[in-house]
Copies of this chain bind each other. A is one copy, B any other.
């Protein structure tokens, strides 16, 4: 193989120009490696959709080249698509112990555990996939056991940071491999893919340890029960809650399926240190005084079905919030969730609880897991990449990250802001962004993967705003005379009992329209339907300023 023909290609199938759904590929000639396989949650423009995953057409077409999937860490936006993807495309998965534990739980739920090859790695592993030797480095983030990846391709080193921050005083001594990063950078990095989530945020993200200090302080002050809600996957924070409970002689109760799952997985794999006898079952609650209890639960983002929402509304089966209890929301509301969080805080205040809520910056009860601008500049400085591709973020974040890269001396023409599907090809020593590969959102709705498309979504939108009006008429095949109907059925349009006159008017118009068409010797059913749709649609809009979906059903008998 002549070195001139060697091609190194880098692309995102998800994760740029968006938050979530992370999936990247690094391909060197005929060896293709996939990085992460994440999902994201739909917004209000995708009614009824459960989850969004990357379109993997490109991977299916190049199945023979895929050497494996490396997963940087165990968050949903990096592992959430795995069961859906693995069903269509079986590939070996490489990840650290905790990440694998979380992936295993997912695969088990989908009945895929037996058929998937899982390989445990750690930051000291060296892996060779196809022709590509791969090394790793530990990073800090809001879940333990995170990896950055260095692909030592014959053409040069490609570094993918995963999600990271620099926490110089990490919980459980999970230090980042800063010396290894320096070494990789010193030896020369051809291309760096670095995460951009907090690229708009000045400064340096505080250490998770300060959250522990605030938790301990609040626990010491609290008199009744303590409820603390946080992301289940934030194992370090869970550890700090355990530590504070131990120091204040409180027992621990877990509420919420994901909290119970994660604590179980993390404990069994050695990522959590829990004193013997500390963990109680919810039903044990009544055997202890309020000041002897900490309830650690899910729902810190106001999720309406999670434990905290049920506690706040008083609908939890086993445990209730009493006057004087302390409730801590160890989170900052993610944009879009403020209303739900606010409703919970309202309910908790109505129960006369003391509530610690709001921005983590103010309460000290939450810090981000992502690098702020100074840390991003530190990563760029350590790696000194020839080419830079900001990843993980909306366009404005990638844009801000580019400006940070320029500020620390990366040549502007060597920075590529790519969209999903854009390929950066490095041939010889020159990088070009010219090609595009298939990419997109695959929508998961119930058991359907990708069967809900634009037409279905557009219909759902119309239906949700103005409802539907169904008109049923049966006419004789022989002479076209109306045999029954027109009958009108509406749903989600107007309250029918109050709109009888309107419905009668619709029937009258339908009948007139049909008669008129018959007199014009119209025989095409489609013409009847279209005319009825138009005429009734116009009438309804004039009288209600609403545009329900109109479905004329003509039955020829």
The contact of A336 among B336, B485, B498, by CB within 8 Å, is: B336
Q: How far, in whole Å, are A557 and B492 apart by their CA atoms in the complex?
A: 28
> A505 interface residue, CB < 8 Å from B?
no
User: B544 touching A448 by the CB < 8 A rule?
Assistant: yes
CB distance from A24 to the nearest CB of B (A): 20
Q: Are B495 and A452 in contact (CB under 8 A)?
A: yes
Contact of A456 among B448, B494, B557 (CB under 8 A): B494
Q: Mark A539-553, 1 if CB is under 8 A from B, else 0.
A: 000011110010101
A212 in the interface (beta carbon within 8 A): no
Cβ–Cβ < 8 Å partners of A483 in chain B = 557
Q: Which residues of chain B have C-beta atoms less than 8 A from A455's C-beta?
A: 495
Residue from B456, B484, B498 in contact with A555 in the complex, judged by beta carbons closer than 8 Å: B484
Q: Oligomeric state, in number of copies? A: 2
Query: Which residues of chain A (355-403) have a CB below 8 Å from chain B?
Result: 355, 358, 394-396, 399
CB distance from A297 to the nearest CB of B (A): 19
B-contact bits for A330-359, CB 8 A (1 contact / 0 none): 000101101100100110011000010010
Interface residues of A, count at CB 8 A: 67
CA distance A452 to B495 in the complex (A): 6
Q: How far apart sit A214 and B456, CA to CA, in the bound complex (Å)?
A: 47
B interface footprint on A477-504 (CB within 8 Å = 1, 0 otherwise): 0000001110101011111001100000
Whether A213 sits at the interface, judged by CB under 8 Å, is no
Which of A336, A338, A456, A498 lies at the interface centre, i.e. has the most chain B CB atoms within 10 A of its CB?
Answer: A456
Minimum CB distance partner of A43 in chain B:
B339
User: A153 to chain B: closest CB distance in Å?
Assistant: 31
Closest beta carbon of chain B to A475's beta carbon, Å: 11
Question: In the assembled complex, which residues on chain B have CB atoms less than 8 Å from the CB atom of A358?
Answer: 200
Nearest-Cβ distance from residue A412 to partner chain B, whole angstroms: 13
Say which residue of B447, B460, B494 sits within 8 Å of A492 (CB atoms).
B460
Give the residues in chain B near A350, CB-CB below 8 Å: 395
Q: Are B492 and A451 in contact (CB under 8 A)?
A: no
* Segment at the B interface, from A58-66, A130-138, A243-251, A466-474: A466-474
Taking a contact as CB atoms under 8 Å apart, the answer to whether B470 and A551 are in contact is: yes
- Closest B residue by C-beta to A463: B463
Q: Does A109 contact B (CB under 8 A)?
A: no
Instruction: Evaluate whether A467 and B472 lie within 8 angstroms (CB atoms) in the complex, with A346-B396, A545-B446 already known.
Output: no
Measured CB to CB, the residues of A under 8 A from B are 17, 43-44, 47-48, 200, 333, 335-336, 338-339, 342, 345-346, 349-350, 355, 358, 394-396, 399, 445-448, 451-453, 455-457, 459-468, 470, 472, 474, 483-485, 487, 489, 491-495, 498-499, 543-546, 549, 551, 553, 555-557
- In order of increasing CB-CB distance, the 9 nearest A-B pairs are A446-B545, A464-B464, A335-B338, A463-B463, A459-B492, A346-B395, A48-B465, A460-B492, A47-B464
Could you show 14 A-B contacts with beta carbons less than 8 Å apart?
A17-B346, A48-B466, A48-B492, A335-B338, A336-B336, A345-B396, A349-B399, A446-B544, A451-B494, A451-B499, A456-B492, A484-B555, A487-B553, A489-B551
